[in-house]
Structure 1
Amino acid sequence: MRMREGWRGGFAVGVGLAAGSFALAVSFGAFAVQHGWPPWLAVLASVVTFSGSAQFALATALDGGAGAVTAVASATLINLRFVPMGAATARYLHGGALRRALEGQAVVDGSWVAAQRDEGTTDRPKLFGATLVQWPAWIAGTACGALLVPSTDVARAWGLDMVFPAFFALLLLDTVRSRPGCLPHAALAGVLAGAACLVVPPGVALLTAALAAAPAVLRPPRREGPA
Structure 2
Amino acid sequence: MAANLKSYNILVIEDDEMLSEVMLVTFELAGATVRVAHSGETGLQLFHEMNPDLVVLDVRLPGITGWDVLKFIRIVSNTPVVMLTTMREDQDQIKGLTGGADAYLTKPFSAEVLVAQLEAVLRRAKRDHEDHDYEDDYLRVNLGTEQLFIQGIRCDLTGTEFKLLAFLVRHAGQICTYDQILGNVWGWEYRDNVDYVHVHASNLRRKIEHNPRDPIYIVTERGVGYRFEPQK
Normalising by the residue count of structure 2, what TM-score does the alignment of the two structures yield?
0.28
The structure with the greater share of residues assigned to helix is 1
Normalised TM-score (structure 1): 0.29
Query: Higher strand proportion, which one?
Result: 2
